[in-house]
Amino acid sequence: MINSNTEKARKLCKGTTGNFVGVRWKEGCTPQIENYNGYKVFAANISDLDCLIMKLDCTDQMVEIKPEEFSFEMKLPGSKSLMPNWLYVVLSRVTILKGLYLVQPLRKEMFKQISRNLREELLFLRSLEQRLLNNL
């Protein structure tokens, strides 16, 4: 999906969907093999790419899109104590793991500990669920 409106002249706007076909590398540049948690994947620096090649869903047209480099800063509301809540919210929106790469592994201390009462309730519900499943 195109995520910017910088290609309006070619009617390639934010939200235009298609399939990734490939890339054209700048002269002398090639993909790098990197290790992501035991998986070897091809990676590239955006500065090494001349363009991305995409086949548009709406017209089956092949288009070349120049990569754009940008950065952003996200400020979370409230104090750092809200970080575990934000991590939970963000990760709970993930629907498939394929293609998900974390810059660093998650650690237990990044998340709030649940209360003893909630832990006991979850154990009770899991055991109830297991008993119901066993009776099917």
pLDDT (tens digit per residue) in 57-75: 989 999 998 887 666 665 6
Question: With 90 as the cut, is the pLDDT of residue 29 above it?
Answer: yes
Question: With 90 as the cut, is the pLDDT of residue 76 above it?
Answer: no
Distance from C-alpha of 25 to C-alpha of 64, rounded to nearest angstrom = 12
Domain boundary assignment for the chain:
8-65, 80-134
Cα dihedral 119, 121, 123, 125 sign? negative
Q: What local confidence, expressed as pLDDT, does residue 69 receive?
A: 66
Distance from C-alpha of 50 to C-alpha of 62, rounded to nearest angstrom = 16
Structure tokens at 42: 């091809």
Q: What local confidence, expressed as pLDDT, does residue 78 receive?
A: 56
Percent of the chain with pLDDT over 70: 85
Grade residue 51 by pLDDT with cuts at 50, 70 and 90. Answer: very high
Distance from C-alpha of 27 to C-alpha of 78, rounded to nearest angstrom = 47
Distance from C-alpha of 53 to C-alpha of 6, rounded to nearest angstrom = 16
Amino acid identity for residue 2 in this structure: I
Q: What local confidence, expressed as pLDDT, does residue 88 receive?
A: 73
Distance from C-alpha of 13 to C-alpha of 17, rounded to nearest angstrom = 9
